[in-house]
Amino acid sequence: MIAEAGLAALWLAAGLAALQLVLMIAALRADLGAARTMQSIAAVQGGLTLIAFAMLLIVFARTDLSVALVFENSHSAKPFIYKVAGAWGNHEGSMLLWVTVLSVAGAFLALLSRRTSQRTLVAALGAQAALALGFYAFLLIASNPFARLNPAPFEGRGLNPLLQDPGLAFHPPTLYFGYVGLSIAFSLAVGALLTGEVDSRLARAMRPWVLGAWILLTLGITAGSYWAYYELGWGGYWFWDPVENASLMPWLAATALLHSINVLAARGALKAWTMMLAVIAFSMSMVGTFLVRSGILTSVHAFAIDPERGTFLLALLAIYVGAAFGLFAWRGASLKEGAPFELVSRETGLVINNLLLSVILAIVFVGTLYPLFVEAITGEKLSVGAPYFNAVAGPLALMLALLVGIGPLLAWRRERRPMFKQLTVPALLGVSALVFTIILAPGMHILPRLGLMVAAYLAAASVLPLIGRSPFRAPLATWGMVVAHFGIAVALTGMAMNAAFTSETLAIAKPGEILSAGPWHVQLQDVTPTAGKNWTALEATLKASRGEGLVTLKPQMRYFTDPPTETNEAAIDTFWNGQLYTIVGKADPNGGWQLRLWWKPFVTLIWAGGALIALGGALALLGHLRRLLRRRREPNWRGRYA
């Protein structure tokens, strides 16, 4: 009954979405006062998808094997938390989660939005309903999560053991919330293009959504990167894999949008560009979902390949993005550009920021899809790897980081003060970092060297907006910006350190043998069997020392029984100045064991930086929301704040 209840809730929600779309068209044509009705419909629709998702959680929690999806992806011996997480660790479940977030976000838009005009809200709710309708159709026609099996089997087929990890249980939902949060920006942009009300009011209504989605994307990408780092046992944090790029592209677009939206909110400028970015940001989310779910590109993330689903998703993508771009082409001419600005101004700074981010986005997009196009034209198969992305996007990212230090110091419209005095200390820091690296590590590669220089400069430059005024009276949004920009410097330091100073040892060692990695001496003590709830493992005991103290690491090679899979469980020890990362591999016929050791100085700064960037976003969001609440309490407020 539970599965059927979930399915019924989905059908009802789809019906309501269709009604919502029809009402929007009617309301825009005949000027009907449909806003109230549509708000209620959107709220009920959100509630229904929540019910459907709850039903899926219940069948997974109970391991109801008569549901095909549970049989395929679960097992009675699996730990409870992963039984529940299994609900979204597969294609159908994750698409249901996607739709749930989409319509719950639509419900919140309907209930919370007081800032846009009624007409734009109606148009945006209609656009959101159109989006939801397509994805309901996708679920109900091509990937029903509630399909039954008769007779019910006795045992499930387990879950990919790589997914039995807290990091992965929560990293995809975080990304999904981010992806789908951008749908609100998309719908608001489409709504505003329809009604022609592209103004600073719209930008302020859109900003919390973009910020919220961007925070979650940042967290999701950071967590995913750490997960790949410790779980896959490759010792790297970013592989430029198509699926990783799929999450990076919406983030890049959302980052650009986040900055251009401020220009629109404060100065009423960059109207067409901001609308375009809002459309592109969610389009990139859909492209990402399509790339991941259609299996069109070969990736280390082995998802099931299904051309029918791929075609369906591609059709949705073509309809939505095509409609939005078409609308842009049709209505774009009526957008008047806002207040003018001079060459040296914050607006210019943000325009350059947007250009650089867009070029990086284009580079990632082209790099991800290039193999496909080469094959279409010449028939040759190839793959684009890290060297391309690092060499092409790296220098641009460094230029962007240089600009991050300057932009926030510029005044809106026209900057009259001489800038360079303020930047003396950061510039000196950058130069001394450069000199240090030349003296201490003459053989260092150019990109990490410049990375350390820019990071040192940016760490100082990013806090300048708080200097010269009482820091605790600065608005929360300013604090957020400072923290996020400082986070970039922190992450950059980690990346450059990791690129330049990692030491790696791969060797076959017999018990008792000592290997070295960087400053560490690591002794293999022995290798013993051990077991968990649904796996057995060979566990190596390593004693590591670098002069003083002794630490023990226990990397494992795990064998999961159902389905039979081997995974490497890295043992990682974190110190203030880096991580010791160890992997044990196969046995050698002569009684030795493959050991892989890395000493990675300051590598944790990469994720700490990512977390700081997200924290900065959260502070800014808090600031904007607080201002919003305060304004609501003052009914007579009129456009005082810019």
Closest CA to 168 of 82, 39, 69, 103: 82
Please say whether the beta carbons of 556 and 569 come within 8 A: yes
Which residue lies nearer to another protein by CB, 44 or 507? 507
Which residue lies nearer to another protein by CB, 234 or 325? 325
Least CB distance to another protein at residue 245 (A): 15
SS3 (DSSP) at 467:
coil
Which residue lies nearer to another protein by CB, 304 or 467? 304
Least CB distance to another protein at residue 539 (A): 24
SS3 (DSSP) at 324:
helix
**For residue 431, what are its two tokens?**
């130069």
Least CB distance to another protein at residue 298 (A): 6
Which residue lies nearer to another protein by CB, 138 or 602? 138
> Which positions ≥6 away from 381 have C-beta within 8 Å?
371, 375
Which residue lies nearer to another protein by CB, 234 or 501? 234
Least CB distance to another protein at residue 193 (A): 11
Least CB distance to another protein at residue 303 (A): 13
Which residue lies nearer to another protein by CB, 268 or 408? 268
Which residue lies nearer to another protein by CB, 332 or 585? 332
Which residues partner with 504 through β-bridges?
598
Least CB distance to another protein at residue 363 (A): 15
Least CB distance to another protein at residue 588 (A): 11
Which residue lies nearer to another protein by CB, 318 or 355? 318
Which residue lies nearer to another protein by CB, 417 or 586? 586
Closest CA to 83 of 145, 149, 164: 164
- CA 99, 102, 105, 109 dihedral sign is negative
Least CB distance to another protein at residue 95 (A): 18
Which residue lies nearer to another protein by CB, 103 or 299? 299
- Tally the residues of the chain: 642
Using a 10 angstrom Cβ sphere, with 0-12 exposed, 13-18 middle and 19 or more buried, the burial of residue 255 is: buried
* Cα–Cα distance, 453 to 448 (Å, whole number): 9
Which residue lies nearer to another protein by CB, 381 or 638? 381
Buried b (16+ CB within 10 A) or exposed e, 109-130: bbeebebbbebbbbbbbbbbbb
Which residue lies nearer to another protein by CB, 175 or 321? 321
Least CB distance to another protein at residue 256 (A): 15
Least CB distance to another protein at residue 337 (A): 9
Rg of the chain taking only CA atoms, in angstroms: 26
Match 């790099």 to its residue by tokens. 367
Least CB distance to another protein at residue 226 (A): 29
Which residues partner with 596 through β-bridges?
506, 583
Amino acid at 200: S
What single DSSP character describes residue 576? T
Residues that bind another protein (CB under 8 A): 272, 276, 280, 290, 294-296, 298, 305, 307, 310-311, 314, 317-318, 321-322, 325-326, 328-329, 332-333, 335, 369, 372-373, 375-376, 381, 589
**For residue 241, what are its two tokens?**
């894999």
Amino acid at 384: V
Amino acid at 465: P
The widest CA-to-CA distance across the chain, in whole angstroms, is 84
Which residue lies nearer to another protein by CB, 328 or 388? 328
Which residues partner with 538 through β-bridges?
529, 557
Which contacts qualify for 562-567: CB closer than 8 Å, 24 or more apart? 562/75, 562/77, 562/155, 562/157, 562/158, 562/534, 563/157, 563/158, 563/160, 565/160, 565/161, 565/162, 567/161, 567/162, 567/231, 567/233
Least CB distance to another protein at residue 367 (A): 14
Amino acid at 53: F
60: how many CB neighbours lie within 10 A of its CB? 27
Closest CA to 418 of 344, 311, 505: 344
Least CB distance to another protein at residue 34 (A): 30
- CA 19, 25, 28, 30 dihedral sign is negative
Least CB distance to another protein at residue 128 (A): 21
Least CB distance to another protein at residue 316 (A): 12
Closest CA to 301 of 128, 131, 162: 162
Which residue lies nearer to another protein by CB, 373 or 641? 373
Closest CA to 346 of 414, 297, 282: 414
Which residue lies nearer to another protein by CB, 241 or 539? 241
Q: How far is the CA of 275 from the CAs of 200, 331, 392, 500, 574, in angstroms?
A: 12, 11, 27, 40, 44
**Number of DSSP helices (H) and strands (E) in the chain, helices first:** 17, 10
